[in-house]
Amino acid sequence: MTAFAVVLVAAGGVGGAVQAALMGRWGERVGTLEAFAFASLLTALIGTALLLAGGGGLGGYAAAARQPIWLWTAGVMSALIVDKLPFHWERLLGIALLAAGAALSLKR
């Protein structure tokens, strides 16, 4: 299981770096906020399709909305990281946070 976790963490790191590069380029072409908004809409549509394909229902959205507000910070953090990708220091901060989270998850 540890080797599988390492592979997942590595794939997540590569995916994060690729996403940063693509979002930066997309932001240059159409504008940072426009690229972020479209990517967020696309993510929501894909997430909903996966939820329904996996046998879940839309009631999960209502259940998530009823959770404590502090849990919503996960979405806020995603928005802050993605919105700022065209800037160099924030990319590095995002990668550092991903690496720190991966390291903490492996220490369990």
Per-residue pLDDT tens over the stretch 33-78: 888 889 889 888 988 898 888 888 888 888 888 988 888 888 777 7
* pTM of the shown model: 0.57
pLDDT value at residue 56: 83
CB-CB neighbours of 70 under 10 Å? 7
Percent of the chain with pLDDT over 70: 84
- Mean residue pLDDT of the chain comes to 78
DSSP-derived secondary structure for 13-71: HHHHHHHHHHHHHHHHHH-HHHHHHHHHHHHHHHHHHHHHHTT--THHHHHHHTS-GGG
